[in-house]
């Protein structure tokens, strides 16, 4: 039986809401669906809203009871905003996000490049907007919940898919046990490590490179504008890259690359985090006394 986490996720900026799971016993009749979407990340919810915009009903099946955990996407381009506008959530993003268009790159301590993304007063959206992914997911979910063509099922996990001649049979597990849905179309929006794509032996194409980054969201008041800061081969992290972005709610996000061979366990030790965040703040001229910043770290692979 699928038992999704019910404990509220920790965050220094986002108040998580735990939704009730959709239970099959309260909805006995399950006729064949037109579209089932596995996953309620940005891809799954935008797909559901776009289909609804074209009059197509869908069922969103999602394994968790909360929006995504931790620091994930934080910068949204103008093109993303145009797509979000189509599905009715761009207003919430601009109301709560931080627009920007300048970036500064430093190489070994020298300012070597200033990016200036063009922006016309008639442009509806800024070239970039910073807001944490949880908020975008919340706005998308609210739009899905308000749409009668979207049947949203928290706490439901796709466990297997059987391909039939002209439909798919989807086995779904819930906190009170499994049920089956038949659907004309199944959209695998179950993330970068999609179990559905793996089961179908569908591989992502394209180039990738190795590199492990620590992401630290810290609450700190830095008197700096909303501009991207990128540091290449800095003194305290030779050979590696560091990015800094201002986020809403008094948060700065640091992404720093780890030296080759360092494990996530070593990198996430409190003393290691503190030394590196302090080194970064000192490098940009804001050395902080012990305890002035608080943060929640995680690691990610290079994009």
Ligand X SMILES: Cc1cc2nc3c(=O)[nH]c(=O)nc-3n(C[C@H](O)[C@H](O)[C@H](O)COP(=O)(O)OP(=O)(O)OC[C@H]3O[C@@H](n4cnc5c(N)ncnc54)[C@H](O)[C@@H]3O)c2cc1C
> Contact residues for ligand X (CB under 6 A)?
38-44, 61-64, 68, 70, 72-74, 133, 157-158, 189-192, 195, 215, 298, 300
Give per-residue burial for 21-37: e unless 16+ CB within 10 Å, then b: bbebeeeeeeeebebbb
CA distance 193 to 141: 22
Is 158 or 218 the residue whose CB approaches ligand X more closely? 158
Q: Which is nearer to ligand X, 106 or 213 (CB)?
A: 213
Beta-strand runs (E) in the chain: 33-38, 58-61, 75-77, 98-100, 102-107, 110-116, 128-130, 150-153, 157-163, 168-173, 179-188, 212-219, 228-232, 241-247, 251-257, 294-301
Name the residue nearer to ligand X (CB basis): 74 or 251: 74
Question: Measured from the CB atom, is 73 or 292 closer to ligand X?
Answer: 73
Specify whether the CB–CB gap between 39 and 189 falls below 8 A: yes
Q: Are strands 110-116 and 58-61 parallel, antiparallel or unpaired?
A: unpaired
CA dihedral 64, 267, 263, 192 (to 10 degrees): 30
Q: CB of 254: closest distance to ligand X in angstroms?
A: 11
Phi, psi of 24 (to 5 degrees): -65, -25
| CA-angle at 296, arms to 293 and 299, nearest 5° | 125
CB-nearer residue toward ligand X: 104 or 298:
298
The least CB distance from residue 49 to ligand X, in Å, is: 13
In the bound complex, what is the minimum distance in angstroms from residue 242's beta carbon to ligand X?
13
In the complex, least distance from residue 84 CB atom to ligand X, rounded to whole angstroms = 13
Do the strands 102-107 and 228-232 form a parallel or antiparallel pair, or are they unpaired? parallel
Q: Which residues contact 47 (CB under 8 A, 6 or more apart)?
A: 37, 58, 187, 189
- Residue closest to ligand X, measured at CB: 41
Phi-psi region of 292 (alpha: psi -120 to 50; beta: other; left: phi over 0): alpha
Nearer to ligand X, 22 or 293 (CB): 22
The CB-of-66 to ligand X minimum distance in angstroms stands at 9
Question: Of 115 and 292, which has the nearer Cβ to ligand X?
Answer: 115
Shortest distance, CB of residue 166 to ligand X, whole angstroms?
23
User: Shortest gap between Cβ of 224 and ligand X (angstroms)?
Assistant: 19
**3-state DSSP assignment of residue 158:** strand
Burial of 115 (C-beta count, 10 Å sphere; 0-12/13-18/19+): middle
Q: Which CB atom, from 212 or from 288, has the smaller least distance to ligand X?
A: 212
User: Closest approach of Cβ 193 to ligand X, in Å?
Assistant: 8
């Amino acid at each position: 039986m699928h038992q999704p986490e019910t404990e509220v996720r920790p965050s220094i900026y986002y108040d998580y809401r735990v939704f009730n799971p959709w239970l099959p016993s309260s909805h006995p009749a399950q006729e064949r669906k037109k579209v089932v979407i596995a996953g309620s990340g940005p891809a799954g919810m935008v797909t559901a809203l776009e289909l609804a915009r074209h009059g197509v009903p869908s069922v969103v099946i999602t394994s968790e009871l909360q929006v995504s955990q931790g620091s994930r996407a934080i910068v949204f381009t103008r093109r993303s905003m145009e797509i979000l506008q189509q599905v009715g959530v761009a207003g919430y993003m601009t109301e709560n996000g931080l627009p920007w268009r300048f970036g500064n790159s430093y190489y070994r301590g020298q300012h070597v490049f200033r990016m200036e993304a063009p922006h016309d007063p008639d442009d509806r959206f800024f070239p970039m907007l910073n807001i944490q992914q949880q908020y975008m997911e919340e706005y998308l979910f609210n739009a899905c919940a308000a749409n009668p063509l979207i049947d949203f099922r928290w706490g439901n996990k796709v466990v297997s898919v059987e391909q039939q001649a002209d439909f798919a049979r989807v086995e779904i597990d819930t906190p009170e046990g499994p049920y089956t849905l038949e659907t004309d179309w199944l959209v695998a929006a179950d993330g970068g490590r999609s179990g559905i794509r793996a089961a179908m032996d569908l591989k992502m194409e394209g180039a990738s490179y190795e590199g492990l980054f620590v992401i630290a969201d810290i609450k700190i008041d830095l008197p700096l504008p909303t501009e991207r800061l990128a540091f290449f081969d800095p003194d305290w992290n030779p050979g590696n890259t560091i990015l800094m972005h201002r986020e809403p709610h008094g948060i700065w996000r640091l992404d720093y690359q780890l030296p080759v061979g360092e494990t996530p366990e070593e990198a996430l030790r409190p003393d290691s985090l503190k030394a590196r965040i302090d080194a970064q703040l000192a490098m940009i001229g804001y050395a902080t006394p012990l305890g002035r910043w608080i943060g929640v770290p995680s690691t990610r692979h290079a994009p």
